[in-house]
């Protein structure tokens, strides 16, 4: 069993293959956190300390015992108003405007299988996986509040998940002002905090700093998980590296606003938490109502950051992603955006399709501009009817024409948005999120549809159904505007931003259920909604609108800490690059883009004969390497933020093959030799370099590395394929 409860001590123990998590319902009914770390036997409540700490309040139940204070004890679900002055996981305001809720343990249930969350994506257990759920109930009689803390355990992957459901079982309403899913307290330690910041076209940049006294938080107030911060946070021992040291990871399974906090308190204790963004969230619960905080995926490694990432990767790939493309080869696509923008017709699309087919491309994706009156980004969002005048045919006829060439057909949509200059807006102005009496804030000349409304969701589903019924097998689902105004004509506006996300997930669930063979690629101005919540419906996400190869090195590096390579959509684009103006060799662009789901963003008809031959070879090679790239273990061999060489590696889980990728951004005079040191090979084995035929002893090259050919210029790239003999 992965979950046990000892009635004598009140201790809960959650066990995975390599980790143990313990907490205790003590004599006062307080749920105290005890331990999360390497697998251990026995109980860990000996780690608690008690002392009379001035100005740290004591529960009334403790009487004259001033050594017991929740302001200093580690907790599982800290609340505001219970004597803990650190940041809480729950803040509640009653119907009289009074804040505070002291929650006490009132029961628990252990069940077989992994819990699900109504209306929300969540980790699931596969049929062959042992899993269990622990539900702990905390209660407050004054408010009539019950908090169900859900713990899911996937033992073989070292994954523990957490969620919280708040229910009003009383006679009066109360309002949830802050709600987090997870909290882990550490009684001592010197820690670094790793987060991933960025901006549009430069997402998920690795950032690490030593955690000092005070509070640090990241999050998004934009109604999406954001370009600015990834909903992934890692606490690491100060000496932790890729292959050494302790580290704890949290990842939010949600695509809306979030907050992650780390606090180093007055007693040098550390608290990390993750949950819903407090801004734009004030959720009133009438008697009988409940609200669910989305899930947090937690994992621990005492073997460094590499193992922690492998745990996240396996969980996302095997227990979040679903459907046909969960493990199936992804098609090599050519997207028309950077090639054509809005300037195309049906004949040009077919010409691009024929040229793409001759290169070995599997699918043509027609991006923005295919629907009526859409020749720029100022109008027509919401009017999802093909522009037959522009295309010269119906959408179904164009799909058939591309398929006759031998390619599958994909298309771009932005279903959650609406233009002021659109038939939909003129007919249903109240469907847009606009505050009455205020002029709306425009982002990319568009507004946001109110996904909390059933009629809006039904319209979007029907529009997408009509599109997909033409034979389309791929959707690029875009989202190019943050939510600024929060106003709904049909719901309590304090709930609208949360209900928006439930509405989005409902539509995505209906689409994936009706069209299980359609591959959906998520996108939000590139990587603005790159999260586990979207990956539940879209097994790959457009990693960034920035296709520059050198910038992508940092973007892919940061993304890799929380997400598998199979989730990263990366394309080779033309040069000079449209975002940076940089010129890089075609070989380097290919090496970088082969990080995950591979494709192209260029006009194949403008290629030279040499470029066509090179691209044909790239596609053929990618199809040979596709399995190891999307299913293999991923190793970060260098840090592009600080190292002169950027190197990464894929290894089949059985160690039979390895693919090592290297980019040297800058060449220098009389440059030192470039060495690469692989990891993850089978100890004691020998490997052959498939291209050169050289034989390497695995132990030696994993210890000392091996040299590459000297760079001949900037952005020199290498792909070394090793095969165990």
Distances (CA, A) of 163 to 448, 494, 575: 28, 21, 46
Distance CA 527, CA 545 (A): 7
Element (H, E) at 299: strand 290-301
Separation of first and last alpha carbons in the chain: 40
3-class DSSP string for 100-131: CCCCEEEEEEEEECCCCECCECCCCCCCCCCC
Distance CA 508, CA 461 (A): 9
Q: Is 482 exposed, middle or buried (CB count within 10 Å of its CB: 0-12, 13-18, 19+)?
A: buried
Distances (CA, A) of 296 to 151, 159, 160, 231: 10, 10, 9, 10
Among candidate residues 158, 183, 203, 207, the one with its CA nearest the CA of residue 312: 158
177, 303, 611, 641: which is the annotated catalytic residue?
611
458 is catalytic: no
Distance CA 245, CA 243 (A): 7
Please, what is the Cα angle at 279 between 276 and 284, to 5 degrees? 75
CB 666 within 8 A of CB 714: yes
611 is catalytic: yes
Query: What's the gap between Cα 121 and its chain centre?
Result: 12
Rg (CA), the chain: 27
CB 303 within 8 A of CB 244: yes
Both tokens of 597, joined, read 């789901």
What angle in degrees, to the nearest 10, is found between the helix axes of 346-359 and 609-631? 70
- 3-state helix, strand, coil split of the chain in percent (to 5) is 20, 35, 45
Number of H helices, E strands in the chain: 13, 37
In this structure, the dihedral spanned by the alpha carbons of residues 67, 68, 69 and 75, taken in order and rounded to 10 degrees, is 130
**637-645 long-range Cβ contacts below 8 angstroms, 24+ apart:** 637/676, 637/677, 637/678, 637/679, 639/206, 639/557, 640/553, 640/554, 640/557, 640/665, 641/205, 641/206, 641/554, 641/557, 645/674, 645/676
Q: What residues contact residue 275 under an 8 Å CB cut-off, 6+ apart? A: 89, 164, 178, 179, 180, 181, 182, 252, 258, 259, 293, 294, 296
261, 295, 531, 548: which is the annotated catalytic residue?
531
CB 90 within 8 A of CB 176: yes
Distance CA 449, CA 23 (A): 43
Strands (E) across 189-242 are located at 191-199, 202-210, 214-220, 232-237
Distance CA 652, CA 633 (A): 6
Residue 600: strand pairing partners: 334, 572
User: How many Cβ atoms are within 10 Å of 443's Cβ, its own excluded?
Assistant: 16
Q: What residues contact residue 501 under an 8 Å CB cut-off, 6+ apart? A: 254, 255, 256, 451, 533
SS3 609: helix
Catalytic (active-site) positions: 531, 611
């Amino acid at each position: 069993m992965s979950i046990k409860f000892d009635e004598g001590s009140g201790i809960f123990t959650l066990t995975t293959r390599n980790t143990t998590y313990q907490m205790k319902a003590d004599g006062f009914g307080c749920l105290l956190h005890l331990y999360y770390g390497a697998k251990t036997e026995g109980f860990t409540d000996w780690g608690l300390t008690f002392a009379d700490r001035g100005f740290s309040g004591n529960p009334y139940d403790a009487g004259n015992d001033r050594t017991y204070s929740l302001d200093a004890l580690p907790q599982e679900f800290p609340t505001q108003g219970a004597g803990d002055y650190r940041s809480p996981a729950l803040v509640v305001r009653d119907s009289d405007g009074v804040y505070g809720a002291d929650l006490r343990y009132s029961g628990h249930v252990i069940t077989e299988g992994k819990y699900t969350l109504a209306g929300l994506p969540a980790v699931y257990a596969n049929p062959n996986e042992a899993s269990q759920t622990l539900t702990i109930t905390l209660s407050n009689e004054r408010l009539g509040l019950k908090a169900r803390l859900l713990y899911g355990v996937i033992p073989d992957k070292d994954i523990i998940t957490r969620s919280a459901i708040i229910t009003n079982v009383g006679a009066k309403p109360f309002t949830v002002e802050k709600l987090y899913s997870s909290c882990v307290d550490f009684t001592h330690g010197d820690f670094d905090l790793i987060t991933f910041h960025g901006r549009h076209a430069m997402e998920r940049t690795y950032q690490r700093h030593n955690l000092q006294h005070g509070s640090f938080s990241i999050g998004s107030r934009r109604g999406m998980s954001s370009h600015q911060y990834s909903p992934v946070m890692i606490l690491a021992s100060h000496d932790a590296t890729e292959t050494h040291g302790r580290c704890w990871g949290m990842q939010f399974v949600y695509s809306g606003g979030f907050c992650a906090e780390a606090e180093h308190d007055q007693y040098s204790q550390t608290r990390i938490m993750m949950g819903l963004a407090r801004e734009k969230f004030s959720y009133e619960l009438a008697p009988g109502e409940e609200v669910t905080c989305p899930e947090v995926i937690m994992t621990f490694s005492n073997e460094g950051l590499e193992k922690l990432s492998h745990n996240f990767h396996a969980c996302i790939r095997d227990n979040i992603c679903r459907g046909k493309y969960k493990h199936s080869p992804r098609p090599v696509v050519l997207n028309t955006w950077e090639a054509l923008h809005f300037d195309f017709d049906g004949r040009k699309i077919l010409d691009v399709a024929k040229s793409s087919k001759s290169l070995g491309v599997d699918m043509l994706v027609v991006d923005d501009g295919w629907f009526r009156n859409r020749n720029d980004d100022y109008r027509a969002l919401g009017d999802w009817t093909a522009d037959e005048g522009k295309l010269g045919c119906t959408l179904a006829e164009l799909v058939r024409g591309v398929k006759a060439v031998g390619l599958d057909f994909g298309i771009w949509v932005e279903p959650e948005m609406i233009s002021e200059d659109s038939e939909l807006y003129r007919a249903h102005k109240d469907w847009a999120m606009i505050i009455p009496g205020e002029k709306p804030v425009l982002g990319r000349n568009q507004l946001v549809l109110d996904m909390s409304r059933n009629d809006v969701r039904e319209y979007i589903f029907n529009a997408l159904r009509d599109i997909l019924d033409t034979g389309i097998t791929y959707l690029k689902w875009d989202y190019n505007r943050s939510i600024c105004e929060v106003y709904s004509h049909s719901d309590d506006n304090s709930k609208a931003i949360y209900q928006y996300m439930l509405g989005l997930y409902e539509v995505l669930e209906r689409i994936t259920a009706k069209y299980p063979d359609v591959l959906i690629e998520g996108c939000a101005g590139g990587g603005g909604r790159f999260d586990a919540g979207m990956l539940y419906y879209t097994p790959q996400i457009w990693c960034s609108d920035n296709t520059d190869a050198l910038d992508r090195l940092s973007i892919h590096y940061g993304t890799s800490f929380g997400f598998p390579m199979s989730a990263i959509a990366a394309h080779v684009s033309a040069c000079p690059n449209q975002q940076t103006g940089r010129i890089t060799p075609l070989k380097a662009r290919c090496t970088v883009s082969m990080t995950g789901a591979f494709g192209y963003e260029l006009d194949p008809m403008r290629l030279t004969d040499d470029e066509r031959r090179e691209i044909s070879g790239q596609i053929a090679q990618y199809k040979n390497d596709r399995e190891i790239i999307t299913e293999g273990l991923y190793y970060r061999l260098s840090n592009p933020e600080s190292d002169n060489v950027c190197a990464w590696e894929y290894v089949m889980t059985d160690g039979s093959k390895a693919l090592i990728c290297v980019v040297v951004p800058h060449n220098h005079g009389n440059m030192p030799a470039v060495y690469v040191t692989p990891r993850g090979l089978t100890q004691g084995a020998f490997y052959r370099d498939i291209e050169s035929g050289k034989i390497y002893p695995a132990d030696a090259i994993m210890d000392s590395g091996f040299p590459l050919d000297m760079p001949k210029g900037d952005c020199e790239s290498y792909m070394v394929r090793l095969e165990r003999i």
